[in-house]
Amino acid sequence: MLFAMIGFSANAEEQELQDMSDPLAVYTQAGVGLTDKGFNLKVGQTYETGSDITMGMNIIELKGIAGELLGIRDNEKPLFNSVDNSIDGFRFRNFSVNTENGRGTQVDVNANIDKETLDTSYSFIQALPKFSIFQLYPLAGVGLTVENDKDDGYKIPGAFAAIGFYGKITISDKIWLNYNPLWLTTVSGSDRYKDTYYAGDSQILTHEFVASYQLSPRANIRYFANWNKAVDLADGDHRIEFNYQL
């Protein structure tokens, strides 16, 4: 959020800032990430929801920019998809949270440009009471897949469901860890989609580990690791991301 107004003291300004370690925090932000597939760019903007107890924001991410130019990923390794200098994918999220009951909703649109597929989903997220240094945020949602078939053009091959949680461990005021597992399963659609969409199977359990350090009340640096049954941790996606609260 934009709180840098003339006459505000530093303490008053910091009181308006959101806790960047909270998965349900809503704030205007910008971020840049470095991966072996290229650069990621992220911009988030809050908006008025029309309710005194609800906050909302939209976030847009561009992924895999200039991957070939960076030269980190080995295109000769058959396990890896080759990289180029074009954008690999984009993600749009519309997120809102009720500040009284700690419940959030999210519309998530995730597109893979190289594979010409798009997953769009709607999910609920609920903050549970904190226990010592641990806190859980269970989530559940449903979605649709859109793909570009070389013979039939764009179509919806099926629908899926997602269940998981965000897990947070607070190490100190500046350091926290996250473990975010997500179970995805096809629920309807063509036989090919239902049986093979997730790494040749009808379902998959994905894993995300995050280590974060708060550089200042406005800025943090985060390390992400993503993997699943088809891609182990060593060969999974790894990125370092810098985020700034505007």
Position with higher pLDDT, 27 vs 149: 27
> What pLDDT band is residue 86 in, cutting at 50, 70 and 90?
confident
Beta-carbon count within 10 A of 134 CB: 11
What is the C-alpha separation between 182 and 104, in angstroms, rounded?
A: 17
At 81, is the pLDDT very low, low, confident or very high (cuts 50, 70, 90)?
A: low
- Whether pLDDT at 241 is above 90: yes
Report pLDDT for 4. 30
For the domain made up of 10-245, the CATH class stated in words is: mainly beta
Which residues, 6 or more positions from 57, have their beta carbon under 8 angstroms from its beta carbon?
26, 27, 28, 44, 45, 46, 47, 94, 95, 96
Could you report the per-residue pLDDT of 12-71, keeping only the tens digit for each? 344 479 999 999 999 999 999 999 888 999 999 999 999 999 999 999 999 989 877 777
Tell me the chain's radius of gyration from C-alpha atoms.
Answer: 19
For the chain, the domains span: 10-245
**Residue 195, both tokens:** 């049986």
pTM: 0.89
Measure the CA–CA gap between 97 and 105, rounded to whole angstroms: 6
Region 122-145: mean pLDDT is 98
Residue 75 has what pLDDT?
Answer: 60
Which of 30, 31, 25 shows the shortest CA–CA distance to 55? Answer: 25
Is a pLDDT exceeding 50 seen at residue 2?
no
Question: 187-228 pLDDT, tens per residue?
Answer: 999 999 999 999 999 999 999 999 999 999 999 999 999 999
CB 96 within 8 A of CB 105: yes
pLDDT score, position 5: 26
**Residue 93 reports pLDDT greater than 90:** yes
Q: Does pLDDT of 171 surpass 60?
A: yes
Beta strand 117-126 with 134-149: parallel, antiparallel or unpaired? Answer: antiparallel
Q: What is the DSSP string of 131-168?
A: BTTEEEEEEEEEEEEEEEETTTEEEEEEEEEEEEEEEE
